[in-house]
Structure 1
Amino acid sequence: MTHSLPHLLLLILALVLAAPPTAGGQAAKPRTVVTTDGEIDDVDSFIRLLLYANELELEGLIYSSSMWHYKGDGRGTTMVSEMDMTRRIYGERSELRWPGEAWIQELIRAYGEVYPNLSQHAAGYPPADSLLQLVRVGNITFEGEMENDTEGSDFIRELLLDEDPRPIYLQVWGGTNTIARALKSIEERYGDTPEWPEIYQKVGEKAIIYTVMDQDATYRNYIGKQWPNIPVLYNSWQFWVMAYNWKKAVPPELQYWLGGDFMGEHIIQGHGPLTARYYSYGDGQQQAGDPEHIHGDPDKLENAQWGSFVPYDFISEGDSPAFLHLVDVGLDNLEHPEWGGWGGRLVPSDTVAGRWEDGPAAADYNPYTEAADTAYALTRWLPALQRDFAARADWCVEPYDRANHPPTVSVTGARRRVVQPGDKVVLEASATDPDGDEVQFHWWQYGEVDSYAGEAMIILDGPRATVTVPRDIKTGETLHFILSATDGGAPSLTRYARIVLTAE
């Protein structure tokens, strides 16, 4: 069957405009589905996700397989991985490190224990029972298995076909196979019918895939070929800041924020039953079904696979960038992945329309190494997002008046402005803090995101800054200025505003 790709640019524009923006420009509560293979870093990502559940419209929580984890069919049938790495490591297998289909529900029940306290601190946290209703088992028998409909693939299919026109972010924490099966079932149902062009366009305008690496071959073998109109956000480098190899990705000066002193005191210990289940180095925990989860063994901290560690050191949350991209902290990155945010920065591919990637073109200047760094677009936010994580861990156990809450930022004037070379532009913002804390302001130019290749002169005066537009700026070139507003609470919390100047 041949699929046409009409008006691709218009489809992408429709994607951008599909949801009504808030005052900051970012869509309110993006719809999202999580597909996960249950690796230990997925568990840790899921715990953080639950603490941000009030910021998202969670639509589905789906068990899926990957090149690293699959259940098998229970009949001894074997397979060999299509992926080079796991084919070399594991060879022919009938199952692989499967953690079961109960851990999501168990974590949701732990969330239910802290839900009453969380709800004192912010509106919008969903009750545990409503989250349990979102759990489905997808395609889990083998890596890349997409031959059979499952309750998980059916669930995704119906979401993509529903009458809500808003985008659905399909987070891929394992393989893409359950999503691929959902799309394949749509193709099988409508591909030879008169409705197909409309259905094809509808799905392409709704679905957005955020995948952390390729963990099976179903994207390249099926989705990319048959559904090239579905936008893809592809993170293959920046996620390492929050993954197993973080000690190489994160400069030593910032490693405190993932170290045992911080993680143990501010996240894991004394913050209730949900974060107590967070996997960390030397914590004595062992995931059922995965014999390779030895990170919790206190006797195996020295010279481990990814370095040497101390108790409560961070292990991995390699999939967290997929949902952190959706959390609105004022950076307006949801509709513009190339602008950068807490989930990192992805730029449009030079070769594939509708695909955003984090390769060398997405590198930011790393002031610690004094060089361009493909990971620094995420690293730069690490202290702020870890302090925010710690505040939400406090929300699990502390009353409102003993915890900290983020400031709310307002900007005077438009956030998107047309300017002339040589103009002096005043940027001005204010912030209110729910706890009455003093708020410190800092404006800075995000030069890597600018299409103008130089620096603008900026004079800082607290919440106010005066920018002199460079005289050599060309028509259509942009300058991005970020306001970081940080309160004086403990832990201190930061929210942002972005003003984009475009030369006329």
Structure 2
Amino acid sequence: MDFQSIPPFKSKPHIAVLTDICNEPDDAESMTRFLLYANEFNIDALVATTSTWQRTSTHKEEIFKIVDAYGTAVENLNAHVPPSRQYPAASSLRSVVRSGLNGFGMSAARGALSEGTELLIKAIDASELIWVLIWGGSNVLAQALLEVQKTRSKIELELFTSKIRVYAISDQDDAGPWVRLHFPKIFYIASIHAFNYYGMAAWAGISGETYYGFDHGGPDSSLVTKEWLKTNIQIGPYGSVYPDPVFIPEGDTPTFLSLIQNGLTDPLQPSWGGWGGRYNLTDLSAESLHYSDAPDSVVGEDGRTYTSSQATIWRWRKAYQGDFAARIQWTLSPEFQSANHAPVIVLNGDIGLETLHLKVRFGEIVKLDASESWDPDGNELTFKWMHYGEPSATQWTCRFEVPKLGFEDISSEKNMGRVQVRVPGKDDGCMFPLDETKIMKYGPKTYHIILEVVDNGKFPMRAYRRVLVEVGE
């Protein structure tokens, strides 16, 4: 298979963005990155909203400004993706830009419908499932729910809410808590902490370690400096609309990072982790479908291990920043050879992006073959295999439940293109902390294996496949 014949995505997530753009530069920064992935999404609504930081005005004109800049680059962008994965025209994005409520929180939500609310209701009705990405206040979503509750039957309301998947950047008005209280069955990812204490939130891992003071020495902070952004992002007609950061760059970006179709994760499984972070259910009874921050333990740039919710995002920083910089290069020229493009993974003969599921018995050896993977630019590929332990754990101390799996290189080239891994035996386990004479068996378990394939282009790009190895009798 060559690059031009790569098949279309099997599906694209439907997305509505609610953004308090103009309250500070980070929403415009996130929107600039977001549109570079517009060919991987169905963008149904771009709604300018209020928040606690911008209570009485909305600014859809700022969305139009970025969409217009996108329009100058879309032809170049399309030269760097297969014919089956083309970018939408700027006119189609302009057609879904709306203003939300020009008032704060629930007091505004109980007033007259905004044009943004009307479009959001229409978008939810038209989809089987839609992601509502909340970068500011949540009152447009709250107003949509109030309107449907008032005008439709209970069954119709339940159908409506069952389609919604929310990823919110904490709570930036009183509408988010109201939604979770009155509609607990809505799938809702949000960091919960004291109001305005954003340094506690997982999403701050996108770039916030210096400003908020966490995990110093862990993330590669050089990739989010003003100097790096000026050199690698704020270039050309499109990159020039990316504003200088004031607090932290792109605090809203985690909402869509795990929706990018790179093979790393399933966004409907927040506990799996990915570029957008890792989250677990707050209430295991599933009476509420709210997902809270979860931690990862990651070896940082300084060689120390950091355990935090922010680490679930910054652990991928080289990947998501490299991908951003490479796509900015796409906007500069229609010449395919002028820029880098992501590798294509072929794992055990399968070229898809979906998770590979394997069922094996205790103690078996699993063989994984990615040697047929290739790069559209003819670049050299590096194969990296990772056992992602935290998604298999049910508590902070992962080592009590999940052993570390090792990978043996069985490729003839000795490049890790083919590996094998032994899963734990039936009687394998770890010492019980309260009684050293006892062994806690690992037992039946599903292990997460991540394959990352990296090219050696000027701006390295990555592709992924996740393997779920279900171990039992």
Q: TM-score range by the shorter chain?
A: 0.7 to 0.9
Aligned equivalents of 1:356 and 1:141: distance in 2? Answer: 28
> 1:419 aligns to what SS in structure 2?
strand
In the alignment, what sits opposite 2:291?
Answer: 356
Aligned equivalents of 1:354 and 1:105: distance in 2? Answer: 34
In the alignment, what sits opposite 1:196?
Answer: 154
Alignment of 1:103 onto 2:57: no
1:481–1:500 contact (8 Å) kept in structure 2: yes
C-alpha change, 1:411 and 1:251, in structure 2 (3 Å) is farther
State the TM-score, normalizing by the size of structure 1. Answer: 0.77
Aligned equivalents of 1:209 and 1:62: distance in 2? Answer: 15
Aligned equivalents of 1:443 and 1:366: distance in 2? Answer: 15
Residue 46 of structure 2, aligned match among 61, 69, 74: 61
Summarize deviations over 1:39-89 as a string: whole Å, max 9, x none: 311110000001111111100000111111122xxxxxxxxxxxxxxxxxx
1:366–1:376 contact (8 Å) kept in structure 2: no
In the alignment, what sits opposite 2:422?
Answer: 468
Aligned equivalents of 1:317 and 1:116: distance in 2? Answer: 25
Aligned equivalents of 2:299 and 2:382: distance in 1? Answer: 24
1:347–1:362 contact (8 Å) kept in structure 2: no
Aligned equivalents of 2:330 and 2:423: distance in 1? Answer: 43
In the alignment, what sits opposite 2:352?
Answer: none
> 2:189 aligns to what SS in structure 1?
strand
Residue 442 of structure 1, aligned match among 381, 384, 391: 384
Task: Return the offset for 1:243.
Answer: 4.9
Alignment of 1:276 onto 2:240: yes
Task: Return the offset for 1:465.
Answer: 1.3
Residues 243-392 of structure 1 mapped to structure 2, 5 A cutoff? 243=207, 246-247=210-211, 248-249=213-214, 251-252=216-217, 254-268=220-234, 271-280=235-244, 295=246, 315-350=248-283, 353-358=288-293, 361-367=294-300, 368-392=303-327
In the alignment, what sits opposite 2:206?
Answer: 242
Summarize deviations over 1:426-459 as a string: whole Å, max 9, x none: 1121322111111110111111122452112321
In the alignment, what sits opposite 2:17?
Answer: 34
C-alpha change, 1:49 and 1:207, in structure 2 (3 Å) is same
Identity %: 29
Runs of 4 or more, structure 1, over 6 Å off, are: none
> 1:121 aligns to what SS in structure 2?
coil
Aligned equivalents of 1:168 and 1:376: distance in 2? Answer: 27
1:439–1:487 contact (8 Å) kept in structure 2: yes
In the alignment, what sits opposite 2:402?
Answer: 453
Summarize deviations over 1:103-128 as a string: whole Å, max 9, x none: 00011111111111111112321111
Aligned equivalents of 1:104 and 1:233: distance in 2? Answer: 24
In the alignment, what sits opposite 2:460?
Answer: 492
Summarize deviations over 1:295-317 as a string: whole Å, max 9, x none: 4xxxxxxxxxx6xxxxxxxx421
Aligned equivalents of 2:290 and 2:347: distance in 1? Answer: 32
Aligned equivalents of 2:358 and 2:76: distance in 1? Answer: 42
Task: Return the offset for 1:29.
Answer: 1.3
1:479–1:502 contact (8 Å) kept in structure 2: yes
Aligned partner of 2:346: which letter?
S
Structure 1 portions without partners, runs of 5+: 1-21, 72-97, 282-294, 296-305, 307-314
Aligned equivalents of 1:375 and 1:149: distance in 2? Answer: 37
Alignment of 1:408 onto 2:344: yes
Aligned equivalents of 2:10 and 2:69: distance in 1? Answer: 29
In the alignment, what sits opposite 2:445?
Answer: 477
Aligned equivalents of 2:444 and 2:99: distance in 1? Answer: 48
Task: Return the offset for 1:250.
Answer: 5.7
Summarize deviations over 1:438-484 as a string: whole Å, max 9, x none: 11101111111224521123213411111111112655312111111
Residue 89 of structure 2, aligned match among 114, 127, 137: 127
Aligned equivalents of 1:57 and 1:474: distance in 2? Answer: 42
1:33–1:59 contact (8 Å) kept in structure 2: yes
> Is the deviation greater in 470-479 or in 379-388?
470-479
In the alignment, what sits opposite 2:189?
Answer: 233
> 2:373 aligns to what SS in structure 1?
strand
Aligned equivalents of 1:116 and 1:365: distance in 2? Answer: 40
How many residues end up aligned between the 2 structures? Answer: 413
2:297–2:307 contact (8 Å) kept in structure 1: yes
Summarize deviations over 1:347-374 as a string: whole Å, max 9, x none: 121366312111xx43333444423122
In the alignment, what sits opposite 1:215?
Answer: 172
1:324–1:342 contact (8 Å) kept in structure 2: yes
> 2:233 aligns to what SS in structure 1?
helix
Residue 139 of structure 2, aligned match among 174, 177, 197: 177
> 2:390 aligns to what SS in structure 1?
coil
Aligned equivalents of 1:27 and 1:321: distance in 2? Answer: 23
In the alignment, what sits opposite 1:146?
Answer: 109
Aligned partner of 1:216: which letter?
D
In the alignment, what sits opposite 2:359?
Answer: 418
> 2:386 aligns to what SS in structure 1?
strand
Aligned partner of 1:64: which letter?
T
> 2:159 aligns to what SS in structure 1?
helix
Aligned partner of 1:347: which letter?
N
The Cα RMSD (Å) is: 2.3
